[in-house]
Amino acid sequence: MVGATELTPAIPLLPFAAFLVALLVGHFAPRLLPKGGAIPGIIATAGSLLLSLWTFLAVSGGGYHAQDIYTWVAGQSTFSLHFGVLVDPLSAMMLVIVSLVAVLVHVFSLGYMNDEGETGLPRYYAGLGLFTFSMLAFVVADNLLMAFMFFELVGLCSYLLIGFHFREAGPPSAAKKAFLVTRFGDYFFLIGVVGVLATFGTARFVAVGDGVQSFPHLAEQALAAAGGDGAMPEHVASFLDVVGMEPQTWFAVLGLLVLGGVVGKSAQFPLHTWLPDAMEGPTPVSALIHAATMVAAGVYLVARMYGFYALLPTVLAVIALVGGFTALFAATMGVVKDELKQVLAYSTISQYGYMMLGLGAGGYVAATFHLMTHAFFKALLFLGAGSVIIAMHHNEDMWDMGGLKEKMPVTYYTFLSGSLALAGIVPFAGFWSKDEVLYYAVNYGLGESPILLAAYAMGLLAVFFTGFYTFRMVFLTFHGEPRSDTARDPHGVRWNVKLPLVVLGVLAATAGLVNMTPVAKVTGLHIEFLHQWLVIPEGSEFAALGYDHYHHLLEAFAGYGAAGVGTLAPAAVSLALAFGGAGLAWVLYNVDSPTEHTEKLGGVKTVLYNNYYQDEYQVWLAEGVTLPLARAADTFDQGIVDGVVNGVSSVSLFAGSRLKRIQDGLVTHYAALLTLSLVVLLVAFGLLGGWF
Amino acid sequence: MLIEALIAVTLVSAFAVMLAPDEVAGKLAFALSLLPVAGSLWMFGQFDASGNALFESGSLAFETTARWISVGPYALNWHVGLDGISMPLVVLSTILTSLAIVSAWTPIQERQSQFYSLMLFMLASLLGVFTALDFFVWFVFWEFVLVPMYFLIGIWGGPRRKYAAIKFFVYTNVASLLMFIGFAALVFSLNVNSFDMIEVTAALAANDFGSTFGLGAETLKVLAFFAMFIGFAVKVPMVPLHTWLPDAHVQAPTPASVMLAGVLLKMGTYALLRFNFTMLPGVARDYAVLIAALAVVSVIYGAMLALAQQDLKRIVAYSSVSSMGYVLLGLVAYNYYGLGGATFQMVAHGLISGLMFMCVGVIYNVAHTRMVGDLSGIADKMPVTAAVFVAAAFGYMGLPLMAGFAGELFIFIGGFSATFPYAQLFTALAMFGIVVVAGYLLFAMQRVLFGPFSADTDYDIVPAAPHDAVAIVVLVVLVVVLGTVPEVFYGMIQDAVDPMVESLPEATAVLTGGEL
Amino acid sequence: MAVAVEYYLLLSAAVFCTGVFGVLTRENALMFLISVELMLNAANINLVAFSHFYGNITGQVFSLFVMGLAAAEVAVGLGIVLVLYRNFDDVDVRNATTMRW
């Protein structure tokens, strides 16, 4: 019988088949395509979900698995490049998350796209299928190069799906921006990938099998050797010789380069500007791509190669600071937004900031935990927003809503569940995971790495803003009196919208229970299931991917030491702040006819409305610097470079036009010239030949 | 004798098409162009060469040698054969010619039989360029390629076709002269008795110099290297010798642009690889920093120029300059992935740039304008063309699993592992091209394909003709296949370039070890 | 006694220079033609003189060739002169300047 692990490649390939079906049948015989491609998509993603669950079970039983699937390039005298699958706790968890959200989004799309009579559905479902394929393949990638390749492909799908309504002006522009900004990050990522390949001769995450090596392990050896312990791997030594750098410095450079891609894809400061614009895409797409999965790719990548990052304290500090800053920065912008999806977009940026903070602070488990819970509750919130948007006839302005609570109870209660999770209210999912992230930051920050405290402070402050904007959104949307005609008589939604909401609503409420660290610490019960799940026992070939190993690296190489802070006090602080934020929102907005309070912010309001002028300066960089520079280059090229070429031709033509005047048609002159030339020639020969 | 048969069949087809009436010329030319396609694919299937064509250690496929004439002490022989570098280029040439002929059916309405005949003449001479192993045979074909292209631009081109055709012809011809002098000087100073490229390579490797015109062997090598380098750089084209290219592309009819970008530019890089980098690796190594700097300038400057253009064809033309810069970077890296990637990129860029030009051509056939500002939202009216355009553009940006990514990635790995000073910095700078290329192609797509529909033209925007759509779809499929299974060509490419790398051990300090 | 070869050469040079002078200064096409004939015959004198000097008959054979050539040239030349006269009503070489740039 085939085991789950042999079928792992089928997990991404099923959605790919759905993509092909939607593309080909959709083009040649659209009538044959049930529901515009939704049905093949649902079947395929459901199949992926089942296989993912099976894989998940297999992994629970210790069935870790790494296998080369396809040799992309077989190097004859040098290293090869290949595709492979790596199934370990992290990827198994991510597979379930991605395929689950994908199924639910496909189902939701039946309500959001099909029922709303959209055109171009095969294109939509083809995009979703291709995206799911790429994302799942990214998740199971067993080497950095393969990860990069699918990282780019999800970017393409994001481009295609954001620009789905290409006949309007906004979406294509947003799609372009999304791809371009992430491409800027991917530029650094690609240098990083190439650098890793050149430095280590391999890009594998883990070494399983004979004669196989992994780059985090080689880096570990090289750093140990630099510290006087063991021998430097030969390939690494020869490369370091070429660049002439210490391993610590060079690896930090590589780590930061790869981080560039992470910052772009996970919408971290300063490359976060594309994500709010990406909300131009259909809402299910926002839920799938721009909340739960693709944006998570960056964070997932850091977790995937944590064995490398854990060696580099500088890079970890950068990750933590970028994350903490982004969490706060984005949360403040979310406070003033008027459109439902915009608030969610900024909250997404902010939440990914928390994950980065967690990873930088050495909280591998915490960040992974938050990745999981966030995927559920943010997908839920986006789908809930989608439901509201259907009801509101595609009006997203929260000031036109209000009072939807009675009209759409299912949406309201599930949305509330997601909001509580987002705000971090106990016992909803977000509380446990966010709290754990902050706990790691403060614990290691008070210990050996004080710089983490700055990141912690920012993260903590962001909790307050999160609570505030989340409940401002809830109250404005669902509470009070309806503020427009559509809000008084909203469009109903069907089962295909409610079902995904309910599933995710339950998960948002309960997913946190898998890792209740404070409870475990207090009661002494072993209920930190996620923590245990991510630990890989010593002696396994996969031990290098386990949390214990990372913990060891953090202490041995990055100098992380815990201060032994208790778990309850930080949890209480962040909970208090979350309640504070939510309470402020309650006071200001949970009234029958809420009014805008943003005027009270004074000048700050303008800054926040304009997103700290981040878009402006990036647009300025593109249109105010690069474009004039390009035009100047063009002028230079046409004027100087081509001018020289044309100049050569003009000089020849001019010289010719003058010289031809010798040819005046007078035979006498020709004869004179002949004679003269003969004489000159004779004299010249004579002089050279020494006749005189 | 297969290579001769291939060239002969193409030549005979060219004459046959010339005599055919205009109404059938296009179809006939396409049918006849399938013969070389089939031939080259059959050769590809039977391909059994190993090693590099110019090294005595290499064994060639379909090799033939025949005595021809002798001039003074030098024997000029007919010598052709294929190795892993030339085979992919031969396949590329035949396939692209067939597709370019199909893409000519719509736009070419005058003097059709002559047009298609010239296309086939060009293919015949291209096959000669990529197979010849004797300098004189090669040079004859090399020069002959210019003739059909000159007429294709000069007769069927746009409003400034004469200027463009003459500029193209004179510029590249002057460059050929310089290259010829360089190579001839090299040969005359060596103890060889033929212009056979294998013999010259061996003599250079052995440093078997006779008289060196009083310059000393090293100086002569450097001078010859740069004479040839400049000569080939015009063809590639490298900045600052590139200005003939945009004019030629903009004026040329679409099928000629496809051939020009797809195959003719590769002649330059192919020759650089064969002559400069195979015969004089030491000089290439000594001046690696200079050449790498040139490559980086080509990449970035070319991309910046593309950013400033409004004409779709000009955009693609300048981006070719940029992409060819990558090839030079791969060559100068002089290691396994560098040289292999450069060769692969020639094929990949041939397909993708051909595809881009065909897409632009399809739009032009319908809209009769190529200006970015004149068109908007045409995806609504031409869905298949728009979809292929998007795919092609992403291919050009180096989307993984498409051919361009594979070529660029190999080059970047090679460049990053190169051992000349600042190689990593140069590579990182050149890689910034992938951001700029994304910039201008995304801008162009956003304006032309998407947004509310409007067209500032007197013509109706209607879907592309079926044969046009099929041609571009076939090319997209080829690009994806090559990107997904690069081994199709990359295995034989490695066979051919690995001996080169091993001839210059100091360039390979990195990249030898690692996981095999 | 034989005349020394230098005298022949002097004669030849003198005839040649006369011819050159004529070509450079005459305006009449016929005179022009005659000057050309003079130059040719200067060469003939040279050929015959050296032939005699070396006792080799080749030079004399060549001079016959040159004479044949001269005859042909005169035929063509006179034809041109006739056409010149017909077109320009004159045989002045300075008038026929239409074949210039």
The reply to whether residue A79 touches residue B400, judged by beta carbons under 8 angstroms, is: no
List CB contacts (< 8 A) between B239 and chain A: 641
With CB atoms and an 8 Å threshold, state whether C23 touches A668: yes
Q: Who contacts B261 (Cβ-Cβ below 8 Å, separation ≥6)?
A: B249, B316, B317, B320, B350, B353, B354, B356, B357
Nearest-neighbour CA in chain A from B448: distance (Å): 11
**Using one digit for the tens of pLDDT, what is the confidence trace for B412-466?**
999 998 888 899 999 999 999 999 999 999 999 999 999 888 888 888 888 888 8
Distance, in Å, from the CA atom of A328 to the CA atom of A353, rounded to the nearest integer, reads 8
Average pLDDT over chain B, rounded to an integer = 91
> Nearest residue of A to residue B432 by CA position?
A187
A672: nearest CA partner in chain C? C24
Tokens read off for B388: 């292929």
User: Is residue A236 predicted with pLDDT exceeding 80?
Assistant: yes
| Chain B contact probe: residue of A28, A72, A78, A146 with most B CBs at under 10 A | A78
Tell me, yes or no, if B213 comes closer than 8 A to chain A by beta carbon. no
Q: In the numeric block, which tokens belong to residue A137?
A: 């393949």
pLDDT for res C27: 86
Cis peptide before A427 (omega within 30 of 0): yes
Could you give the CA distance from residue A101 to residue A122 in angstroms, rounded to a whole number?
A: 20
- Closest CA of chain B from A172, distance in Å: 6
Cβ of A666 and C32 within 8 Å? no
What is the torsion angle, in degrees rounded to the nearest 10, for the CA atoms of residue A148, residue A151, residue A156 and residue A159?
-140
Cβ separation C94–A660 shorter than 8 A: no
Output A229 or A1, whichever has higher pLDDT.
Answer: A229
- Looking at residue A2, its pLDDT comes to 60
Partners of residue B449 in chain A, C-beta under 8 Å? 166, 172
Instruction: Tell me what pLDDT residue A419 has.
Output: 92
What is the pLDDT, as a whole number, of residue B516? Answer: 36
Cβ contact, residue pair B240, A641, below 8 Å: yes
More confident residue, A492 or B190: B190
Which among A278, A265, A285 is positioned nearest to A123, based on CA atoms?
A285
**Res A52: pLDDT:** 92
CA nearest B447: which of B277, B329, B348, B309?
B309
Per-residue exposure over C18-48, b if at least 16 CB sit within 10 Å of its own CB, e if not: ebbebbbebeebeebbbbbbbbbbbbbbbbb
Mark yes or no for CB contact B308/A79 under 8 Å.
no
Residue A79 phi/psi, 5-degree rounding, is -70, 155
Residue C78 to residue C75: CA distance in whole angstroms: 5
Q: What residues of chain A lie within 8 A of the CB of C27, using their CB? A: 668
pLDDT at position A320 over 90: yes
Among B362, B335, B347, B357, smallest CA distance to B407 is for: B347
Confidence class of residue C26 from pLDDT cuts 50, 70 and 90? confident
Quote the mean pLDDT of chain A: 88
Written as one letter, the residue type at A364 is: Y
Q: B49 vs chain A: nearest CA distance in angstroms?
A: 15
Is the distance from CB of A494 to CB of A108 less than 8 angstroms? no
Inter-chain CB proximity A73 and B309 less than 8 Å: no
Give the whole-angstrom CA distance, residue A349 versus residue A353: 6
Give the tokens for residue C2: 């034989």
A-B contacts (CB, under 8 Å): 186
What are the Cα distances from residue B327, in Å, to A127, B229, B237, B281? 33, 14, 11, 16
Confidence of residue B509 (pLDDT cuts 50, 70, 90): low
Residue labelled with tokens 């966010």: A434
Residue A685's φ and ψ, nearest 5 degrees, are -60, -40
* Residues in chain A within 8 Å Cβ distance of C24: 668, 671-672, 675
Q: How confident is the model at residue A1 (pLDDT cuts 50, 70, 90)?
A: very low
Q: What is the pLDDT of residue B515?
A: 42
The phi, psi pair for B514, rounded to 5°, reads 80, -175
- Segment 590-629 of chain A within 8 Å of chain B by CB: 622, 626-627, 629
Give the rounded percent of residues in chain B with a pLDDT score beyond 70: 98
In this prediction, residue B326 carries a pLDDT of 94
- The least confident of B265-269, B425-429, C55-59 is C55-59
Which of B394, B402, B412, B413 is most worth mutating to test chain A (most A CB atoms within 10 A of its CB)?
B413
Cβ of C20 under 8 Å from any chain A Cβ? yes
Q: Which of residues 59-98 of C touch A (CB under 8 A)?
A: 93-94, 96-98
Say whether the B–A interface has 3 or more Cβ pairs within 8 Å. Answer: yes
- With an 8 Å Cβ cutoff, are A671 and C101 in contact? no
pLDDT tens-digit series, residues B75-123 = 889 999 999 999 999 999 999 999 999 999 999 898 999 999 999 999 9
Query: Residue A116 is encoded by which pair of tokens?
Result: 């709303």
Q: What is the mean pLDDT of the segment spanning A436-455?
A: 87
- Cα distances from A647 to residues A639, A650, B318, in angstroms, run 10, 5, 21
pLDDT at B390 over 90: yes
Contacts of B172 in chain A (CB under 8 A): none
B513·A241 Cβ contact <8 A: no
* Rounded Cα distance, A140 and A558, in Å: 27
Which pLDDT does position B454 carry in this prediction?
86
Cβ–Cβ < 8 Å for A386, A108: yes
Give B228's Cβ-side CA count (13 Å radius): 27
Query: Among partner residues A156, A166, A641, which is closest to B243 by beta-carbon distance?
Result: A641
Closest Cβ–Cβ partner in B239, B380, B419 for A242? B419
Q: What per-residue confidence (pLDDT) applies to A514?
A: 85
Q: Using CA atoms, how far apart are residues A483 and A403, in angstroms rounded to an integer?
A: 8
What are the Cα distances from residue B272, in Å, to B257, B275, B329? Answer: 22, 5, 12
Contact A75 B446 (CB under 8 A): no
Q: State which amino acid sits at residue A151.
A: F
With an 8 Å Cβ cutoff, are B243 and A637 in contact? yes
Full-model pTM: 0.91
**Residue A221: CB atoms within 10 Å:** 18
Q: Would you say residue C16 has pLDDT above 80?
A: yes
Nearest in space to A283 (alpha carbons), one of A398, A403, A367, A162: A162
**Whether A12 contacts A137, CB under 8 Å:** yes
- The rounded distance, in Å, linking the Cα atoms of A624 and A269 is 21
Residue A579 has a CB neighbour count (10 Å cut-off) of: 18
Rounded-to-integer distance, Cα A520 and Cα A517, Å: 5
- Answer whether A19's CB lies under 8 Å from A130's CB: yes
Give Cα separations from A608 to A396, A603, B419 (angstroms): 19, 9, 49
| CB of C34 less than 8 A from some CB of A | no
User: Is the CB of A156 less than 8 angstroms away from the CB of B244?
Assistant: no
| Gap between the Cα atoms of A308 and A557, Å rounded | 10
* Max Cα–Cα distance, chain A, nearest Å: 122
SS3 content of chain A, % helix, strand, coil (to 5): 75, 5, 20
Residue B407 burial (CB count, 10 A): 30
Q: Do B435 and A187 touch (CB under 8 A)?
A: yes
Q: Is A520 on the interface with B (CB under 8 A)?
A: no
In the three-class reduction of DSSP (H, G, I as helix; E, B as strand; rest coil), residue B67 is classed as: strand
Q: Which chains touch B (3 or more CB pairs under 8 A)?
A: A
A407-412, long-range: CB < 8 A, 24+ apart = A407/A490, A408/A490, A408/A493, A410/A498, A410/A501, A410/A502, A411/A384, A411/A387, A411/A493, A411/A497, A411/A498, A411/A501, A412/A478
pLDDT of residue A351: 92
Which candidate from B380, B449, B494 shows the least CB-CB separation from A76? B494
> Which of A661, A666, A671 has the CB atom closest to C101's CB atom?
A661
- Asked if B305's CB is within 8 angstroms of A630's CB, the reply is yes
Residues 319-348 of B with CB under 8 A from A: 335-337
Residue-wise pLDDT tens digits, A531-561: 888 888 887 888 888 888 898 888 888 888 8
- Which chain A residue is nearest to residue B337, measuring alpha carbons? A78
A180 vs B contacts (CB less than 8 Å) = 435, 438-439, 442
* Mutation choice for A interface testing from C18, C20, C87 by most A CBs within 10 A: C20
Over residues B191-219, the pLDDT tens digits come to 988 899 999 999 998 888 887 777 888 89
Which residue among B309, B450, B491 sits closest to A163, beta carbon to beta carbon? B450
Q: For B40-50, what is the mean pLDDT? A: 92
Question: In B, residues 412-451, which contact A (CB 8 Å cutoff)?
Answer: 412-413, 416-417, 419, 423-424, 427-428, 431-432, 434-436, 438-439, 442-443, 445-446, 449-451
Contact call for C and B: 3+ CB–CB distances under 8 Å: no
The pLDDT-based confidence of B514 (bands split at 50, 70, 90) is very low
A355-379 mean pLDDT:
91
Give the pLDDT mean for A34-48. 88
Question: pLDDT for A243-256, tens place per residue?
Answer: 888 889 999 999 99
Q: CA B94, CA B39: separation in Å to the nearest integer?
A: 9
A156 vs B: CB within 8 A: yes
